[in-house]
Chains A and B, each alone.
Chain A
């Protein structure tokens, strides 16, 4: 029991940044844009968050600055792909290369500096042996869950959300009935950047209080996979993020504790989220249910033939 709770607490910690980044990417993709620069934006958020926390000691300010860094980077992507109709795949990859390089350059002098982790929001309950599984986390874990509801509500129940989905499903008809496709997509891309930045900042602020080059170690790509895995739906994303987190964490618990699971090669554990994503993609398409498929305009530049 104690161990189960301990595992769950670790799972939530490991899942939270992936969930936050994936939520941002979900909104971006729902608007019809594929931004493969998540990993790069996360690293920029991580270094910005680290630097601000190191100099000010304020975790919340650090999260905000992480978000700002991610958003700034996403504007490069937005300008190229939306204003200049550049290829989204290539631009996203360039953004990841840029974020990896720039964060490493900016962080070079911060490597030997420790910061402090964010404290749990409910310190008394966080010490409780059972209740900590619900109340034992710092702000980002709750923020992530709140955002699942908020994004679900936004997409399903608000006019703006409807417009965003319309833009992602059929940009030309959205354009023809008078919506600004480019403007909507700009907002979505900036939101995605801010979320990726926060997700990156979670690494030094909630997981391991230090700066290390490339410290997100591919989680940005897992977030991209997760959006697909969740077939672009916020609540499936929530479940999927915890499932991915569980896979990543169970490997370590199994190895540390022995038992049958520890016999699975670590390479298989590491490949599992990606293989699972492909399997889910296949399962979705087998259902032939149009509404569960990818946004129709995903990855295609908006080209009104004016």
Chain B
């Protein structure tokens, strides 16, 4: 009888590091195909529509860009934070608060024009996201309160703030009583960058943000410090790196980027604040960060993959009647498989004969 055991690799495997996400996606397609065939759908078509149609149909590319942009921006921030072992899972809240701050600027400058309005909105969005993320940062560094829990709680509070503002002080005077803000003026809307498409300025910003983050994390002392603190906090302390400062930086970067994503989203596709603004980008970006291996370049790819499943999921609804829930199931499977594959990065599977294992014991 053959037995298998896990053996720690002397060094994380590069092949597995980049191979497992690909394997996770491929395995998701296979398992998804089987699962949906088993419950009476055309599984092959389901996989085809969800994963391939958005890629093969050029008209869908603009949708992918728009859907991926906020995921990439938030995911980049989160990957920086997670690298430093700071578990900000409240990006959704920071995204919302960023968007609310930008909305505030847009409403205050309503009817005005000027190139400065959008930059002010962006700064307000980032500052608000940072401010919101600084609550868990403060509590963590000063009082050692778990940042996972505080950032999560703050997310739920922020959703209520949207409802309150658009039901009360920010209600659209022209909206026949519906809870939503008024439509932003032209100057507060993101310009389209490719005429005739819906691709807005947020898409290139997302890519630039990820590239800058990649450069900073892999090529600068700052990035090195963040990674060291994350990988070995004790060693870092001896090396003179401040854990407190790292936590603050990680929180501010991830919160600020989430806030920026919120600003771009409300000024781009939404152009007003509505109750349906929170669409879990902040949570989905956690999947993106992991699928992208906490590497900003990987995050770009992962953001596009997630966008494909969203866009393709809706295609599959109309073409083969696949229920909406399928998208979530595919995404969860993908993350499950990726996390399961993580172990192969640090360990290798060794086949051992019974004698050898007895001998080893």
Contact = CB atoms under 8 A, between A and B. Distances in A.
Interface of A: 34, 36, 76, 79-80, 84-87, 89-91, 93-95, 97-98, 100-102, 104-105, 108, 218, 221, 224-225, 228, 265-268, 270-271, 274-275, 277-278, 281-282, 285-286, 293-294, 298-299, 306
Nearest to A218: B156
B153 A275 contact: yes
Contact of A91 (B153, B164, B323, B339): B339
A84 B339 contact: yes
A104 B323 contact: yes
Contact of A281 (B149, B161, B168, B287): B149
A221 B163 CA distance: 19
12 contacts: A84-B340, A93-B283, A94-B287, A95-B332, A97-B331, A98-B333, A105-B326, A225-B149, A228-B146, A270-B163, A282-B143, A299-B87
A125 B332 CA distance: 47
Contacts of A294: 146
B152 interface: yes
Contact of A228 (B144, B149, B154, B336): B149
- 10 A-B pairs with the lowest CB-CB distances in the bound complex, closest first: A101-B328, A98-B332, A86-B339, A285-B143, A267-B164, A94-B335, A267-B160, A271-B160, A274-B153, A104-B325
Given A281-B150, A299-B87, A94 B339 contact: yes
Contact of A94 (B89, B145, B323, B336): B336
Contacts of A274: 153-154, 156-157
Interface string B205-232: 0000000000000000000000000000
Given A90-B287, A285-B144, A271 B157 contact: yes
Contact of A87 (B145, B157, B290, B331): B290
Contacts of B144: 285, 293
Nearest to B330: A101
B323 A270 contact: no
Contacts of A268: 160, 164
B288 to A, nearest CB: 11
Contact of A225 (B153, B168, B325, B329): B153
B127 interface: no
Contacts of A84: 339-340, 342-343
B295 to A, nearest CB: 15
A275 B286 contact: no
Contact of A105 (B139, B329, B335): B329
A76 B156 contact: no
A80 B146 contact: no
Given A80-B339, A98-B329, A306-B8, A278 B286 contact: no
Contact of A224 (B143, B152, B157, B168): B152
Nearest to B280: A97
Interface in B153-208: 153-154, 156-157, 160-161, 163-164, 167-168
Contacts of B39: 105
Interface residues of B, number: 44
B327 interface: yes
A169 B33 CA distance: 43
B33 to A, nearest CB: 15
Contacts of B290: 87, 90
Interface of B: 8, 39, 87, 89, 135, 139, 143-146, 148-150, 152-154, 156-157, 160-161, 163-164, 167-168, 283, 286-287, 290, 323-329, 331-333, 335-336, 339-340, 342-343
B160 A286 contact: no
A108 B152 contact: no
A249 B24 CA distance: 44
- What is the predominant secondary structure among interface residues of chain A facing chain B? helix
Contacts of B143: 282, 285-286
B255 to A, nearest CB: 16
B173 to A, nearest CB: 20
A205 B87 CA distance: 37
A104 B327 CA distance: 12
Nearest to B342: A86
Contacts of B164: 265, 267-268
Contact of B332 (A101, A108, A267): A101
Contacts of B148: 34, 89, 299
A76 B343 contact: no
A270 B167 CA distance: 15
B154 A101 contact: no
A10 B243 CA distance: 47
A274 B151 CA distance: 10
A170 to B, nearest CB: 16
Given A218-B156, A270-B160, A108 B335 contact: no
A79 B89 CA distance: 22
A103 to B, nearest CB: 8
A104 B322 CA distance: 13
A298 B146 contact: yes
Contacts of A299: 87, 146, 148
Contacts of A36: 89, 152
A81 B82 CA distance: 17
A86 B329 contact: no
